[in-house]
Amino acid sequence: MKWLILVLFLPVTGFSQSDTAGKQGCDLLIKNGRIIDGTGNSWYYGDVAIKSGRILKIGRRLSFSAEKIIDARGLIIAPGFIDVHTHLEGDEHKDPKATNFIMDGVTTCITGNCGSSHTDIGNYLHFIDSLRLSINVATLIGHNDVREKVMGRVNRDPTAQEMEQMKAIVDKGMRDGAVGFSTGLIYIPGTYSKTPEIVELARVAAQYNGVYTTHMRDEGDSVIEAIEEALTVAREANIPVEISHFKLSGQQNWGRSKETVPMIEAARKKGIEVTIDQYPYTASSTTISTLIPEEILAGSQDSVRLRLQNPEIRTYVVDAMIKRLKKRKLKHFSYAVVASCDFDTSYNGKSIEQINRMLGRKHKAKYEAQTVIDIVSRGGASAVFHGMSEDDITRIMKCPFNMFASDASIREFNVGVPHPRGYGTNARVLAKYVRDEHLISLEEAIRRMTSLPAQKFQLHDRGLLADGFAADIVIFDENQVQDLSTYSHPHAYSKGFMYVIVNGVLTVDRGQPTGARAGTTLRGLGWSH
């Protein structure tokens, strides 16, 4: 139709180039901002013209007519942030506007991490498409769910036939658009698998140019062996590896990033494509059941509950938990704080030490362990664990191959007391570590939030501000940007992100969410139409 109009009008205008005819039109023009394009290059003054969801043109003093103009004077214009480590499954419908992510500058999430995903990736991506979220979504296919689907929660190696079934599920997942294969080797049933099983499944993902991401078998005492395993999978399956939420857990392991970071550097020197990600907090968050020895957790919730009723098993579990606590050089379970407990919400935000007291039990680790067992028996809870050191966080943050990731899901505002990382990861990096502590430059932080993740997960038209790229853009005030979410009051959006644009659509306008839901699904290279 446009062509038709052009042809009809050409003879009339007689090829004359009047001002208005010469000015190309666009949907949205961002002017006068400082552009940090995601490459890591220094900022420059420029404008961005957006049309039909894409960057039509980027450069100095663009001359376009526009339906809407944003004056970005004094603000930074950067690509939308890509959060490589999220867990959206089950929470997508709770707030399709994904306000916690959008208000933290995130325009794309990669979900399906830690071995936990849907097993029918095609179906899942259709579901996301039908839901229409504010953010773009790509997904991995998770080992734990694939294994559980084929073998249940049993603690043994797969038979040859089961192995073939698992490979077939991963193969289909990759062809349906997964961007890679993830493991969660501390969780059941992934923890029952041995390295060769993972190598075989990672090889399938490698055939489709996927990535291997791993929540390693251990992030504490045995972290060295765990990193070695991740590197072995990368080498033997010939697949790029992303080590998720890279950290040192447990007070006894503080400072050991001095050992682990050089391992990654050495592996890269040897040609293994390994990258890492981290959330910029000294507390972790996962299910409270990780406090209990894994061998107790096999099978269904009912069988776990029955097992934990056995007095001998209870004694064994309490002893094992106290031993681990002593290793941490701690006397109480005060470092473990319940985030969200379905059967008793009065536990939310309280430490195990506090809950134990609330229940009128003696102020001793032995009874606190019993309290944990009772919580797990009654259905469990998610928890925040204060167990990392700031020195390790900053040492890891300085690595050029490290990305930032929330390890979070879509947050329901004011529900539970979840880890603040779901609200404030990117703002915290930009405020605390870039502006206040000068640990890394603004351009470097942006690169790690944008082009590095896009490159790693092969999102070819995202992560940079360049002509023709998808118009995922954040515009923020580097002096104002701040995470406001805290451990005690997590439900607070980050501030400073004045405009967030997803696929050309204004999703945050002058610091307020617009309610737009312009996200799309992003499919991996194996996707066959």
Q: What is the contact surface with Zn ion in residues (CB under 5 A)?
A: 114, 215
Distance CA 524, CA 468 (A): 19
Tell me how far apart the alpha carbons of residues 91 and 455 are, in angstroms, rounded to a whole number: 27
Q: How far is the CB of 217 from Zn ion (least distance, A)?
A: 12
Place of tokens 């867990």: 87
Residue 244 CB, shortest distance to Zn ion, in Å, is: 5
Name the region of 71 (left: φ>0; alpha: ψ -120 to 50; beta: rest).
Answer: beta
Burial of 152 (0-12, 13-18, 19+ CB in 10 A): exposed
Q: Which is nearer to Zn ion, 66 or 198 (CB)?
A: 198
- In this complex, which beta carbon is closest to Zn ion, that of residue 29 or of residue 114? 114
Distance between CA atoms of residues 117 and 139, nearest Å? 8
Phi/psi class of residue 409: alpha, beta or left (left: φ > 0; alpha: ψ in -120 to 50)? beta
- The residue among 97 and 215 lying less far from Zn ion, judged by its C-beta, is 215
Least Cα distance to 472 among 39, 78, 31 occurs for: 78
Q: To which H or E segment does residue 49 belong?
A: strand 44-51
Q: Does residue 269 sit in helix, strand or coil?
A: helix
Tell the smallest beta-carbon distance from residue 441 to Zn ion (Å): 28
Nearer to Zn ion, 114 or 140 (CB): 114
**Pair 385, 335: CB distance under 8 Å:** yes
Single-letter amino acid, residue 271: G
Residue type, 511: G
Min dist CB 82 to Zn ion, Å, is 18
Q: Please list, in sequence order, all residues whose beta carbon lies within 8 angstroms of the beta carbon of residue 355, skipping any fewer than 6 positions away.
A: 338, 347, 371, 375
Nearer to Zn ion, 226 or 464 (CB): 226
Q: For the CB of residue 114, give the shortest distance to Zn ion in the complex, in Å.
A: 3
Query: What is the C-alpha separation between 177 and 285, in angstroms, rounded?
Result: 29
The secondary structure element, H or E, covering residue 50 is strand 44-51
Write down the least CB distance from residue 523 to Zn ion, Å: 23
Q: Closer to Zn ion at the Cβ: 290 or 345?
A: 290
Closer residue to Zn ion, CB minimum distance, 187 or 476: 187
Mapped onto helix, strand or coil, the DSSP state of residue 489 is coil
H-type alpha helices, 115-256: 121-131, 143-151, 160-175, 195-207, 223-237
Q: Which is nearer to Zn ion, 114 or 318 (CB)?
A: 114
CB of 84 to Zn ion, least distance (A): 12
Number of neighbours of residue 4 by Cβ within 10 angstroms? 8
In the chain the first and final C-alpha atoms are separated, in Å, by: 28
- Closest to Zn ion by CB, 215 vs 411, is 215
User: Which residue matches tokens 């990759």?
Assistant: 174
Q: State in angstroms the smallest separation of the CB of 332 from Zn ion.
A: 25
Give the separation between CA 429 and CA 439, rounded to whole angstroms.
Answer: 10
What would the DSSP string read from start to end of 62-100?
Answer: --EEEEEEEE-TT-EEEEPEEES-B--TTTGGG-TT-HH
CB 167 within 8 Å of CB 201: yes
The tokens describing 96, both together, are 């399709």
Distance CA 477, CA 434 (A): 13
Least Å distance between CB 143 and Zn ion? 12
Closer residue to Zn ion (CB): 198 or 516: 198
Closer by beta carbon to Zn ion, 287 or else 458: 287
Closer to Zn ion by CB, 178 or 365: give it.
178
Report, in Å, the least distance between residue 116 CB and Zn ion. 8
CB 135 within 8 A of CB 85: no
Q: How far is the CB of 134 from Zn ion (least distance, A)?
A: 24
Q: What is the DSSP letter of 303?
A: H
Q: How far is the CB of 218 from Zn ion (least distance, A)?
A: 12
CB 505 within 8 A of CB 499: no
Rounded to a whole number of angstroms, the minimum distance from the CB of residue 101 to Zn ion is 18
Q: Which is nearer to Zn ion, 87 or 395 (CB)?
A: 87
CB 127 within 8 A of CB 106: no
Nearest CB to Zn ion, comparing residues 144 and 370: 144
Minimum distance, C-beta of residue 234 to Zn ion, in the bound complex (Å):
18
